[in-house]
Amino acid sequence: MSSELRYSTFKTNVKYSVINTNVHNVDGIAKVTGRATYTFDVTLPGMLYGKILRSPHPHAKILNIDASRALALPGVKAVATGKDTLGVKQGIWRRYPELCDEQVLPLEKVRYIGEPVAAVAAVTEEIAEAALDLIDVEYEVLPAVYEPLDAIKKDAPTIHEGVERNVNVTRHIEWGDVDEAFAEAEKDGYIREDWFRCSGQHHMCMETRAAVSSFTPDGKLTVWASTQSAYYTQGLLAGVMGMREGDVRVLAPYVGGGFGGKFELDAAMFCSAVLSKKLYRPVKIVFTREEDMIASKRRTPMFYYVRTAMTKDGMFLARESRMFSNGGAYTGMGATALYLSGFFHSFPYKWRGYRYDGYRVYTNTMPSTSMRGFGAPQAMFCSEQQIDWMCADLGLDPFEVRRKNAHTECYEVPGQAYIQSCGMTECINKIEEWVKSKGDLGPNRAIGVSSCGFMSGGIFNWFDSPYSFSSAVVTINYDGTVELHVGCQDIGQGSNTTMAIIAAETLGVKIEDIKVHSGDTDHCPADLGAWGSRQTLMAGNAVKMACEDAKKQLLEFAYAEMGLNIVYDLDIKDRWVHVIARPERGMKYEDLVKKALRAKDGQRIVGRGYYTPHRKGMISPAYSYMMQAVDAEVDPETGKIKIHEVMTAHDCGQPINPLGLIGQLEGAASMALGYAYLEDMPMDEGKLLNPNLVDYKVIKAPEMPKTGIIDIHTYEAEGPYGAKEAGEGLTNPTAAALGNAVFHAMGIQMKELPLTPERILKALREKKEQEANK
């Protein structure tokens, strides 16, 4: 039912004991029994509840805040405003001070509806809520601007002082001779240009932003937070609180979803910390769903101008694109989305010349940031539809054209990236076979396809060091059980399970021997956390290295005991330490551990590992590749879309956890289909019109189509056991594939997301009018 994993015929003689076998997630029991404790569930003795007063204006000066009436309310313990803070302008691009532009409690002005203005701590949530109405804020309302193409105009209101035309950050990417290639196409090729509008999307984590802060008289701060990176939260909080990072402990117990929205500093973290520091009592703040929707962050809305040149037989010559993104009020992680969108807009094809100019523009709306796909779903919506339209214009086969231009193994994207493993051609072949096997689907129904690729972690790090890094520490106990300390963060994607699998495989033990410790800055090594699809490759490599280190220490004892030539003649598999050439000759793992530890005066065996990419270009050490097909039907009367099936051919190198891989595929498909035809964030003068789960439509079980995955198995030399990214990149192709399905079913070209019934009907009407005028 519903989904299956079909393996391609990649051949290998490597036999893994744990990798690519079906295992239960290491946190499965906790999650299916209700034992898993999230920040949302944390209660501490003497804990107070915080609530945040938010701006009703999209742009206004704060003239005065008078909290005296609120403070007089019985049960209210404190009110904090910007004046109670150090006024630090913070941001996640810490190495670029001009991009650190957000005071979580602003001192002078508010820049979007929902921006925090003050925070209250009280003995109950109800009293805190009631106190918000008693805080008197005097504003001077300023003219506001909401769309990037308006905000960039000369006479637009200034949102950040000194920022000309509200341009927050720009990004230029270029290689090859673009102009020459276009000149050639003008003579004897084909050029097409289109404008696209890609909408925003809310992360909609089931656990809203939440934090519990406890500042104690020893000057230390402990914070439970729903975060994708305990490390970033620690660093950012220390920065705004004027504390040493080591004096801030961040705990991320279980995290109820992230999807790119939870690794910046949020108001729950900051306001609870400020209030706790005032009161020396724990303070808990949980966003309501409405707060989460109007004042967290969102997928970046983007306007794309795309001009593409190809030869008449479908060889890609050049592309030049300009993109204007709605940055909202602050930078957040949006600067990275600006960069990655431009890079993945070229994917997964070879261009003679490529030029991208991206402009991230401030507006008086909720800030935009990273969200699963990190700018690539928008880029692919434009690129992959335009390719199909050009193929139709020229009478070419879209599979053949994609295959001719696709990345291949060991390809270098000039000046940008080195591709090692690449299963793109095989993905196209398999999807082409699948599409052809479906035959004629009848009227108003068609299959659309889209290819794409994605990174396995960013090489960049704008937080503190120029490099991205991951680390792990492994300790082997006297009884052979293993403590694995990692800095990577499990936010539901299953990284703790992935790390346990890699550790068990490397050490030669069972997965139940491994205890994974994560989400605690006091006890886990530093790691940038969960973003940009980095953990399987980066933290996975760190775990593998740590376990190899520990295993070598163990095997040295076995080597001495068994009198072999070199230590590498030995291995451990399924808790059996043995001579590789004669597997029956060996000893039990538990026995070896006991002997080894006795010889070390009882000290535990400790292995350390880290990973940081070097000489891998500008973007990522490795890239996943995929092609997705969406089978969809349009009702010409209502404009409604029905999705019948989604099939994906996917190259993530060596799959580590097949059950997790299927889960990532299906989850990405539901989120990306939502983006493609249901989810939108309409605003009226900066006010979100659907700030709840009644009016904001996400995919529910009945709408979710059948899904399948064809695993294109490659081996990525840079990844642990050949693994690379899986899960985030799968959000990229879907909107484009659905757009192409609608194009092939109805002959209409959809240039705006989401593909709502209104937009479909409008396009059908316009098509009819055009045909009548012919």
Partner 1 sequence: MEKRALKLKVNGQEYEVFINPKTLLVEVIRDHLGFTGTKRGCETVSCGACSVLVEDMVVKGCSILAVQVEGMNVTTVEGLEDNGKLSPIQRAFLDQGAYQCGFCTSGMLMSATAFLKENEGKSVTEHEIREGIEGNICRCTGYNSIVRAIDAVAQGKYKEA
Q: Would you tell me which residues interact with partner 1 (CB under 8 A)?
A: 1-3, 24-25, 27-38, 40-41, 204-208, 254-259, 288-290, 491-494, 659-660, 662-663, 665-671, 692-694, 698-702, 704, 706-707
CB of 528 to partner 1, least distance (A): 20
Strand partners, 251: 224, 520
Of 255 and 742, CB closest to partner 1: 255
For residues 336 and 356, what is the distance between their CA atoms, to the nearest angstrom?
Answer: 14
For residues 427 and 285, what is the distance between their CA atoms, to the nearest angstrom?
Answer: 46
**Which of 114, 106, 200, 82 is CA-nearest to residue 160?**
106
Of 40 and 399, CB closest to partner 1: 40
CB of 31 to partner 1, least distance (A): 3
CB of 700 to partner 1, least distance (A): 6
Of 316 and 696, CB closest to partner 1: 696
Burial 246-276 (b: 16+ CB within 10 A, else e): eebbbbbbbbbbbbbbbbbbbbbbbbbbbbb
734-746 helix and 757-773 helix, angle to the nearest 10 degrees: 40
CB of 633 to partner 1, least distance (A): 17
Query: What phi, psi does 513 have (nearest 5°)?
Result: -80, -15
CB of 373 to partner 1, least distance (A): 15
Of 347 and 374, CB closest to partner 1: 374
Of 27 and 549, CB closest to partner 1: 27
CB of 288 to partner 1, least distance (A): 6
For residues 351 and 369, what is the distance between their CA atoms, to the nearest angstrom?
Answer: 28
Of 32 and 63, CB closest to partner 1: 32
- Sequence-distant (≥ 6) Cβ neighbours of residue 701 within 8 angstroms: none
Of 383 and 518, CB closest to partner 1: 518
Of 109 and 262, CB closest to partner 1: 262
Measured from the Cβ of residue 522, the count of other Cβ atoms closer than 10 Å reads 12
Strand partners, 66: 136
Continuous segment of H or E residues that includes residue 473? strand 470-476
**Tokens matching residue 517:** 């410790």
Starting at the edge strand that comes first in sequence, how are the strands of the sheet with 706-711 ordered? 3-7, 706-711, 641-651, 623-634, 445-455
CB of 552 to partner 1, least distance (A): 33
Instruction: Give how far Cα 145 sits from Cα of 226, 295, 332, 686, 725, Å.
Output: 32, 17, 19, 8, 38
CB of 491 to partner 1, least distance (A): 6
CB of 636 to partner 1, least distance (A): 24
CB of 707 to partner 1, least distance (A): 6
**Which of 726, 173, 56 is CA-nearest to residue 455?**
726
* R_g of the chain computed on alpha carbons: 27
Starting at the edge strand that comes first in sequence, how are the strands of the sheet with 283-286 ordered? 76-81, 116-122, 48-54, 283-286, 210-215, 221-225, 248-251
Side chain identity at residue 448, one-letter code: G
Of 50 and 189, CB closest to partner 1: 50
Mind spelling out the 3-state secondary structure of 594-650?
HHHHHHCCCCCEEEEEEECCCCCECCCCCEEEEEEEEEEEECCCCCCEEEEEEEEEE
Instruction: Give how far Cα 275 sits from Cα of 120, 234, 243, 644, Å.
Output: 8, 17, 15, 51
Of 287 and 389, CB closest to partner 1: 287
Of 408 and 692, CB closest to partner 1: 692
Of 204 and 763, CB closest to partner 1: 204
**Which of 656, 295, 646, 337 is CA-nearest to residue 493?**
656
CB of 160 to partner 1, least distance (A): 32
CB of 475 to partner 1, least distance (A): 27
DSSP line for 443-464 = TTEEEEEEEEEEESS-SB--SS
CB of 289 to partner 1, least distance (A): 4
Of 292 and 320, CB closest to partner 1: 292
